[in-house]
Amino acid sequence: MKKLIDIATLIAAMGMTLTLCACSNNSDSGSTPTPAQEKYVIKVAQGVTGGTVTASAEQADAGTAITLTNTPNIGYIFNKYAVCAADGTAIKVQDSKFTMPQKNVIVAAFFTAQDYTVTFNANNGSETPATATQTFKAGESKDLTGIHELGEGFTKIVGGKTYYFVGWSTNSNAKDIKGCEYGDGALYTGNQDIILYAVWIKDPVNDITISPSENGKVSSNASGADKDCEITLTITPETGYKLNTLKVTAEGDEPVEVSGTGNTRTFIMPDKNVTVSATFIADEFTIATTPCQNGVIMTHKTAKCDEEVWLFLLPHDGYKAEEPVITAADGTKISPYKSFGIWTFKMPGQNVTISANFVPAN
């Protein structure tokens, strides 16, 4: 029985509220139908990460064969079905079909994110071309492995002359900075198996150094470049933050002009090493309140991510306030806490709406 309860608990943990009720076929005479005459509800749990599921009917008589169809999202594969009756009893699914019991049922499907592989190829950067790999889940975003982490095989010396690594390309014939699609350690989102080829240039280049920053990061499409090459910077703030300052400085504390807006900026490489630095600040989000009867909500109009937000619920005479409902823009409910008559919650990295219910005090 524990296993059956676990299945029902698992579906409930998916964040859905499922209200099931059997349809009634009671006639005007008040007679009670037999089980064979009653149709039972098939409730499909949606919102599951990785795909959707449909059933061949929304209601069915007991004993009816119900067919399930799953549709994985891109990057996911179907794992299994879970069907349970409203009382938690597990229903066997075989060949994507189950037999309708004399109960309402809940249907869910589970999907597994596929693994995608990034293969780093030294692109003749050593006597025996070196390769290394990095694994990403579908939709997962993280930094590519840095060149310094890939081993000594990722170097290139020809005729005693050292070639300089400047970035990665999906084109094995890329010969210069313009052919680099990814800089060293750049952010990548797993969506397919790819091979990244090291891009080498034989002329001496100037280094591009990215200074560490808090609450966000900056990446470059190259770790070094010749004079007059255009360099692209990608800005990635953490949730709830935005870019405050971005500076590119050449050796000797010489400022370099940066162009562009938003999260992509460019600059022209001088004939010197450069350092890129950025600062990020908390972004402000709006706090909206819904119209209330028999009382008033008082609170801030905006707040920054992770900031403590207070609110007063002021009932009219003869009324009292129930716990406020705080909903983030993505639908997530935020639990407040109360101290000395004041409700407080921590601001998420998105807009919120507050509603309250005022009921008679007696």
pLDDT at residue 47, rounded to an integer: 66
Q: What is the pTM of this model?
A: 0.53
| Secondary structure class of 148 (helix, strand, coil) | helix
What is the structure's pLDDT at 127? 65
Give pLDDT, residue 154: 83
Question: For position 16, what pLDDT does the model report?
Answer: 37
Residue 236: both structure tokens together: 């990635």
What is the distance of C-alpha 276 from the center of its chain?
27
Rounded to whole angstroms, what are the CA distances from 134 to 44, 121, 146, 155, 180?
A: 37, 12, 11, 19, 19
Sole residue written with tokens 């609110």: 311
User: What is the structure's pLDDT at 23?
Assistant: 32
CA distance 240 to 182: 26
Torsion of CA 349, 140, 333, 351, to 10 degrees: 30
Instruction: Kindly give the residue spans of alpha helices, DSSP state H, lying in the chain.
Output: 2-12
Sheet bearing 230-237, strands edge to edge: 216-220, 230-237, 264-268
What is the reported pLDDT for 165? 87
pLDDT in tens, the chain (362 residues): 434 334 443 444 333 333 333 333 333 444 444 444 579 999 998 767 788 999 999 999 999 999 999 999 888 889 999 999 988 889 999 999 999 999 999 999 999 888 999 999 988 887 666 788 999 988 888 999 988 888 777 888 777 777 888 899 999 999 888 889 998 888 898 888 999 999 988 776 788 999 999 999 999 988 888 888 899 999 999 888 899 999 999 999 999 999 999 899 999 999 999 999 999 988 889 999 999 999 999 998 999 888 899 999 999 999 999 999 999 999 999 999 988 778 999 998 889 999 999 999 87
168: three-class secondary structure by DSSP = strand
The strand pairing partners of 268, in sequence order, are 230
* Residue 144 near residue 188 (C-beta atoms within 8 A): yes
